[in-house]
Amino acid sequence: MRVNSSKEFWINTGILIVILVLVNTIALSLFHRFDLTEGHIYSISKATKSVLSNLQDRVLVKVYFSKTLPPQYANTRRFLKDILDEYQAYGHGKFHYEFYNPENSEELKKEAQKNRIPPLRSQVYEKDKFVSKVVYMGMVFLYQGQKEVIPVIENTQGMEYDITTTIKRLSSQELVKIAFLKGHNELDRLKSSREMLEKYYQVQDLTIIEGETIPYDIETLIIAGVKDSLSDWDLFAIDDYIMNGGNVIVFQDRIDADLQNIRTNNIKTNLYDILSHYGVKINNDLLIDAQNNPIQVQQMQGFFRMVSTVAYPLFPKITNLNKNNLITKNIGELSLFFASTLDTTGLGKDKHFEVLFSSSKQSGTMRGRSMNINPFQNEEIKKFDDKQYILGGILTGKLTSYFADNEKFSDRIVHKETQNSRLLIVGDADLIDDKGGGGIESNQNFFLNSIDYMTQDQGFISLRSRAASSRPLKEVSAGLRKTIKWINVLLPALLSIVLGLIIFQINTNRRKVVKAIYE
C-alpha cells in the first residue's frame, strides 16, 4: 500500500512538472498582460504591434542601465525591462534586447560612451549613506547597419512612444515630408517644435518661387504667424496645393499684442481672405476668459518694486476640448495667449467644421482699433458675456478654388474643387511659439497630434497621449464651492453625533437586558 502511494506521488509530480513546462512554453508564444489602467498605459499599443509586425529584419536594443539608482529612478529600470519583454514577445523574433550594467566594467563604460550614452553624476543611497556616483540610463537601437540612440531615460512617461518611433524611424525607407511656409514674416521662434518634429518627420522650410507650385509630396504645409501679405502667386500656390489634396495647418493671430509695452496692432495680411473664402473667418478680436492662466507683473509701491500674481483673462486656459477627436481626446488643457476667435457661419452645406476646442462658458471678446490689455485696473478684460467661442478646428468637405474665376490663373488651374483636403485652423500662433505656449507639454502634444492626424499617421496620436496627463478640476460656481465647504465642516461633526447616539442607545439597551436577567 505504501509502495503504491509512493509510486502514485511520483507519477503525479511528474505530470505536474510536464503541465508546468507546457504552460510556460505556451505562455511564451501567447504573451498577454492584463492592464486595467485607463488608456492601458502599462501595455503596448496597437500602433506598436503594427510597427513590430512590419519589421523586415531584427532590431537589437542594447540597454546600458545602472542597477544602483537614485530613488526617483528606482522604478524606471523595472518598467523599461517589463515593456521591452512585451516588445520582444510581440516581435516574434524580430526584436531582441540586452541589458548591461556598466557600473563595474570599464569596457562597458567605454562602449556606452562610444554609443553616445553619457555618464550621469547622481546621488545614490548606498551602505546607509548618500554617495556621489556615476550612473548610466540609455539605450542604443541597431538595425541593418543603422543606429539610433536614446541617451537618457529619466522617466517612464512617453517611453513607449520614444521606443516605437525610434524603431519606425530606423525601419522606414523614407520619412514623411512636412514644410513650414516662409517668406512672409512668419513666426520664427519654433525651435522647440521643430526639434520634436525632426525626430519623426523630414522637416523643411518652404519659400514659394514665382511660377512654381508647392511639391505634392509634402504631406502637410504649416502656416504659422504670418505678418505680411502674400503675393498672388503665393496664394495661388497654396490654393493649388489644397485643390490637389494637400493638408494645411494654420496657426494665425489677428492681433499682434505686446504685453511688455501694453499695446496692440492689427495684423494686415491677405491670408485671412483665402481662409474666409474656404469658409472660416479669423475674427478681428481678442478672447477674454474667466478661466485663465495668471501672470506675474511688477508694480511700484512707494520706493519698492513688487512682483504680483494676477489673473489675466487674455491668457485663457482651455479645458473645453473635443474628446471625440484623436487630436484632443487625451489632452487635459491648452494654454493660449492673445487668441482670436473663429467664425464658421460662412460655411456652405457641403462643408463641415469639427470644433477641436473652444472657450469656457464665461468668456467674451475685445474689439476695436486700440485694445487696452493692461492687466491692472482694467474692466475691459473682465466683460464676459457668458458665451462660448470657437478657437480651433478642422475644415473638411467640398472646397472650391480661390482662383476658380480668376482669368489670370485660368490656364494654370488643375482642379477647381476638392473633397480630399483638410485645413486645421487655430486663431493663435503663440500656442506653438517658444516664447509663448511652445514649451508647454500639452501644447506640444496638440501640435504633434495635429501633424500626425493630418499626415494620416493617427496610430501614434493615441500612443503619445497614453501616459497620465493633466486632468484639471472642473470649474464650479461660487455658491457650490460654499456649499461643499460647509458640508466638509459640518458633516464630520454630524456623523460623530449620530454615531455617539447609536452607541449610547446600544449601551442603554444592553443595560436593560442585563438588568432584566438579574432581576
Q: What pLDDT does residue 28 have?
A: 54
pLDDT band, residue 1 (cuts 50/70/90): very low
The pTM (predicted TM-score) of the whole model is: 0.76
What's the mean pLDDT in 462-469?
60
**Mean confidence (pLDDT) of the chain:** 86
Residue partners of 144: CB distance under 8 A and separation at least 6: 57, 170
Q: What pLDDT does residue 191 have?
A: 86
What's the mean pLDDT in 405-420?
87
Which among 48, 58, 60 has a CA at the least distance from the CA of 90? Answer: 48
The rounded percent of the chain whose pLDDT value lies above 70 is 89
Decide which of 145, 168, 191 is a domain's last residue: 168
Same structural domain, 119 and 268: no
**DSSP assignments along 37-78, one per residue:** STT-TTS--HHHHHHHHT-SS-EEEEEEE-SS--GGGHHHHH
Decide which of 168, 198, 226 is a domain's last residue: 168
Same structural domain, 199 and 159: no
Same structural domain, 190 and 244: yes
- What CATH number should be reported for the domain holding residue 157? 3.40.30.10
C-alpha–C-alpha distance, residues 160 and 91, integer Å: 14
Grid coordinates representing 228 are 505680411
Q: Per-residue pLDDT for 38 more than 60?
A: no
Give how far Cα 352 sits from Cα of 228, 278, 346, Å: 29, 11, 11
Residue 476 lies in a domain: no
What's the mean pLDDT in 120-126?
72
Q: What pLDDT does residue 237 have?
A: 95
Residue 494 lies in a domain: no
What's the mean pLDDT in 29-34?
55
Contacts of residues 110-114 at CB distance under 8 Å and 24 or more positions apart, as own/partner, are 111/64, 112/64, 112/136, 112/138
CB 230 within 8 A of CB 205: no
pLDDT band, residue 29 (cuts 50/70/90): low
Residue 488 lies in a domain: no
Q: What pLDDT does residue 95 have?
A: 94
Q: Coil, helix or strand for 158?
A: coil
Q: How far is CA 502 from the centre of its chain?
A: 53
Same structural domain, 314 and 424: yes
Q: What pLDDT does residue 244 have?
A: 94
Q: Per-residue pLDDT for 518 more than 50?
A: yes
Same structural domain, 133 and 189: no
Q: What pLDDT does residue 364 have?
A: 93
Residue 519 lies in a domain: no
Same structural domain, 151 and 278: no
Q: Per-residue pLDDT for 37 more than 70?
A: no
Q: What pLDDT does residue 178 have?
A: 95
Q: Per-residue pLDDT for 335 more than 70?
A: yes
Q: What pLDDT does residue 450 have?
A: 94
Which among 166, 157, 179, 107 has a CA at the least distance from the CA of 139? Answer: 166
Higher-pLDDT residue of 471, 22: 22
Same structural domain, 205 and 121: no
Question: Can you give the length of the chain in residues?
Answer: 519
Q: What pLDDT does residue 99 have?
A: 93
Lowest mean pLDDT among 239-253, 283-297, 313-327, 465-479: 465-479
CB 460 within 8 A of CB 47: yes
- What CATH number should be reported for the domain holding residue 234? 3.40.50
Residue 449 lies in a domain: yes
Q: Coil, helix or strand for 96?
A: strand
Q: Per-residue pLDDT for 359 more than 50?
A: yes
Q: Per-residue pLDDT for 31 more than 70?
A: no
Crossing angle of helices 159-171 and 46-53, in 10° steps, is 30
Q: What pLDDT does residue 26 have?
A: 65
pLDDT band, residue 468 (cuts 50/70/90): very low
pLDDT band, residue 360 (cuts 50/70/90): very high
Same structural domain, 141 and 207: no
Higher-pLDDT residue of 35, 133: 133
The H or E element containing residue 460 is helix 459-464
Q: What pLDDT does residue 8 have?
A: 75
Q: Per-residue pLDDT for 34 more than 70?
A: no
Q: What pLDDT does residue 255 have?
A: 93
Same structural domain, 157 and 260: no
C-alpha–C-alpha distance, residues 290 and 363, integer Å: 6
Please state the three-class secondary structure of 223-243 as a single string: EECCCCCCCHHHHHHHHHHHH
Q: What pLDDT does residue 127 have?
A: 60
Which among 242, 54, 66 has a CA at the least distance from the CA of 137? Answer: 66
Which among 268, 256, 178, 143 has a CA at the least distance from the CA of 451? Answer: 178
Strongest mean pLDDT among 133-142, 246-255, 459-468: 246-255
Same structural domain, 125 and 226: no
Higher-pLDDT residue of 38, 131: 131
Residue 279 lies in a domain: yes
Q: What pLDDT does residue 472 have?
A: 54
258, β-bridge pairs: 263
Residue 39 lies in a domain: no
What does the angle CA 388 – CA 389 – CA 393 come to, to the nearest 5 degrees? 125
Q: Per-residue pLDDT for 41 more than 50?
A: yes
Same structural domain, 236 and 362: yes
Same structural domain, 196 and 262: yes
Residue 378 lies in a domain: yes
Decide which of 114, 145, 168 is a domain's last residue: 168
Residue 77, amino acid: R
What's the mean pLDDT in 140-164?
88
Q: Coil, helix or strand for 501?
A: helix
pLDDT band, residue 124 (cuts 50/70/90): low
Strongest mean pLDDT among 171-175, 273-277, 411-415: 273-277
Q: Per-residue pLDDT for 253 more than 90?
A: yes
Higher-pLDDT residue of 193, 277: 277
Q: What pLDDT does residue 427 have?
A: 96
Quote the domain boundaries for residue 77: 46-168
Beta-strand relationship, 177-182 and 218-224: parallel
Q: What pLDDT does residue 232 have?
A: 94
The domain tally of the chain equals: 2
Measured distance between the N- and C-terminal CA atoms of the chain, rounded to whole angstroms: 66
